[in-house]
Structure 1
């Protein structure tokens, strides 16, 4: 997609280093500035690639010696429960390769339930311009809890300016029970559901909803996923017509035609297209980041964040489930007892 949220960032997120508030942190210590500090964290060259699950076992070994950079204020920068506490430059002599800058942050869950967060950070030059962005996922933060993490910026391409600041660009959260899943442990439902990064051309937006049967038995689909659109505060957005079929938005998107029964064996997947236009005319534009999705009438909802910028069109097209012949996962294996 053309927006930052639908474009895989050039900077790739670091493996998370999380610690509950009040417990010993494994992130680099910091302050408002100063000389080199010793960082007790994963070597930044070991950071996870975009879309990879975060590390579940943070390292406590010293990994390198970065240089602390000043923040705009001694207390760090904060926005909607996210506080940046330190910023570091990693030079050639730091002891770690593949990274230029890193930042420590604290995230406080101000919601009423456990939530999974996706945070987008912007590394800034002295002029305030963006050098690059990094996206970070923080899983299962309990209500009222504060966790600490580290995000890194990889080596820039070309003659990029030096980083002198960092900001929180965007915060997205979904209830932990409704978090999308593209990999990892199979949910109790036996299915994973997630949205892809989508595509955009001349104001046309297309995002795929992907459903993977990670269970041990067949999964039957027939029809369209059920959708509810939500704003940034997770309130239901009214006044948007959810159309069955994407052909009412544009032809040739793969989301037209009558629904057909789909049976997914373990390891197989299905896809349904979302399509809309961001045309703006008279009226108030609708920008809604979240969509709650029910894969079947009996399924539990999953909340994805396709970042709907519907303009004033008031329309969202959804295609029927169809088998995704390009996707395969190994079927779950069982080990017989002695």
Structure 2
């Protein structure tokens, strides 16, 4: 008599494989496996994504041993992440700020995240992981992670980390800025985090730098609004200030991104000194000056209460 083989174990295995999804190995910045898929994306300014993790349904056998169901992800976490590495091929220690985009197959950005990697020495590689966190309600499925933008400054000129006080005792940072109808404003924030009083009288000193940290020529830096816009507080006169420990001062940059005839000018880096002789801090406001050729700077003042 011919032996009959049961089809139930094979059917259960087929169900498990179908529910687990598939991996897209070798696809730049793409994965559908919770265990991660190696990425072959080329480096962007020394930053390379090495693997991407995008969870799929995780099957768990039911009590009957044959059907499966999907386990849910932890509340408040998409589970989407990417491992990356930063390699400094330069000759001095650099601090990197990286913008990662989490996108669909068509390139639509569903979320992004900034990562700062500090003091990467020359010839060395640092590794880290960036996580998306929570996806917005109704967002399309994320299938890719890419390096959208990289800025890097000499480590000795990088803005301090949150809560860190530099040896100078002066913490200088920028905010995210504001934009409306082509008008751009970015705030410069200075805090005396040291123990001694700190005196200011006038305007911060600025150097505009290109992607290679070389000076950009042809842009006029004006004290006050320079006619760019009124009612912004930029035309308030400079007054002497003495900041005691823990006190703050505010300045700012203002410009329009109007583009007419001629080549548009973009300024990725600005080297700032709070006053003459002070240690420089290089910030990355990415000034899209268009063809205006003008940047306004506001005098140091105390923040309004």
C-alpha distance 257-128 of structure 1, shift in aligned 2 (>3 A): closer
Q: 2:246 aligns with which of 235, 253, 267?
A: 267
Q: 2:94 aligns with which of 115, 118, 122?
A: 115
Superposed displacement of residue 316, structure 1: 0.3
- The equivalences for 1:79-118 within 5 A come to 79-90=44-55, 93=71, 96-100=74-78, 101-118=80-97
Q: Hey, what does 1:295 align to over in structure 2? A: 274
Q: 1:212 aligns with which of 179, 188, 191?
A: 191
**Does the residue aligned with 2:299 lie in a helix, a strand or coil?**
coil
CA contact (8 A) 1:76 1:86 kept: no
C-alpha distance 178-94 of structure 1, shift in aligned 2 (>3 A): farther
Q: Hey, what does 1:131 align to over in structure 2? A: 110
- The equivalences for 1:1-338 within 5 A come to 32=26, 66-69=34-37, 71=39, 75-90=40-55, 93=71, 96-100=74-78, 101-181=80-160, 183-326=162-305
The 1-side partners of 2:297 and 2:35 are apart by 50
Q: Return the TM-score normalized by structure 1.
A: 0.74
**Does the residue aligned with 1:177 lie in a helix, a strand or coil?**
helix
Structure exhibiting the larger radius of gyration computed from Cα positions: 2
**Does the residue aligned with 1:112 lie in a helix, a strand or coil?**
coil
C-alpha distance 122-34 of structure 1, shift in aligned 2 (>3 A): closer
Superposed displacement of residue 90, structure 1: 3.8
Any unmatched runs of 5+ in structure 2? 1-24, 58-70
CA contact (8 A) 2:31 2:54 kept: no
Superposed displacement of residue 232, structure 1: 1.3
Superposed displacement of residue 313, structure 1: 0.4
The 2-side partners of 1:265 and 1:192 are apart by 13
CA contact (8 A) 1:268 1:324 kept: no
| Post-superposition CA distance 1:200-247 (Å, at most 9, x none) | 111000011110000001110000000000111111100000001125
Any unmatched runs of 5+ in structure 1? 1-30, 37-65, 327-338
The 2-side partners of 1:236 and 1:86 are apart by 37
C-alpha distance 78-125 of structure 1, shift in aligned 2 (>3 A): same
The 2-side partners of 1:267 and 1:94 are apart by 47
CA contact (8 A) 2:202 2:239 kept: yes
The 2-side partners of 1:197 and 1:182 are apart by 16
**Does the residue aligned with 1:324 lie in a helix, a strand or coil?**
coil
The Cα RMSD (Å) is 2.0
Q: Hey, what does 1:60 align to over in structure 2? A: none
Superposed displacement of residue 78, structure 1: 2.2
The 1-side partners of 2:177 and 2:32 are apart by 43
* 4+ residue segments displaced more than 6 Å: none
The 1-side partners of 2:216 and 2:226 are apart by 23
The 1-side partners of 2:103 and 2:31 are apart by 19
CA contact (8 A) 1:99 1:152 kept: no
Count of residue pairs brought into register by the alignment = 264
Superposed displacement of residue 194, structure 1: 0.7
CA contact (8 A) 1:264 1:323 kept: no
The 1-side partners of 2:119 and 2:97 are apart by 11
